[in-house]
């Protein structure tokens, strides 16, 4: 799925993400490029949060439960992940502004996003939407 995400043209969404995150912080934005202290930050398909959303889909839709419940959970969680991802990009841009190692921050925040996916799935999905106490009840 990661491979497909990198093949699809998300240039409009990438530019939108660059615009809302870069403009919010007062940086110069052109297309999907944000200029921060002379450095270029390029928002590409890897920055969209779609890999995390694909991971969520992969652990949600195979479950043995009503499809509409899974779909509602997936839509709610996707919207939440997209919003969290905006703050993730803002955090990375601020890290670049103050001189932190942006590559390290980028990787760490990606792992945090993966943790958020698992937290959503276990705490919101499993316990509240799917009404189960154990994962084994869904597989």
Cross-strand pairs, 64: none
How many structural domains does the chain have? 1
pLDDT tens digits, one per residue of 46-87 = 888 888 888 888 888 887 778 998 898 899 889 988 998 999
Q: Considering the entire predicted model, what is its pTM?
A: 0.82
Residue 22's H or E segment, with its range, is helix 11-24
Torsion of CA 15, 113, 98, 93, to 10 degrees: 0
- Domain residue limits at 124: 2-137
More confident residue, 125 or 80: 80
């Amino acid at each position: 799925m990661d491979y497909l995400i990198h093949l699809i043209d998300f240039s409009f969404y990438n530019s939108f993400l660059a615009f809302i995150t870069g403009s919010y912080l007062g940086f110069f934005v052109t297309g999907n490029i944000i200029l921060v202290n002379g450095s270029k930050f390029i928002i590409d398909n890897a920055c969209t949060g779609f890999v995390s959303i694909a991971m969520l889909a992969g652990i949600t839709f195979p479950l043995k439960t009503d499809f509409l419940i899974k779909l509602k959970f997936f839509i709610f969680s996707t919207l939440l992940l997209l919003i969290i991802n905006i703050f993730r990009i803002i955090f990375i841009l601020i890290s670049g502004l103050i001189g932190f190692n942006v590559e390290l921050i980028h990787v760490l925040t990606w792992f945090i996003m993966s943790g958020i996916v698992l937290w959503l799935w276990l705490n919101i999905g499993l316990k509240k939407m799917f009404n189960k106490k154990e994962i084994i009840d869904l597989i």
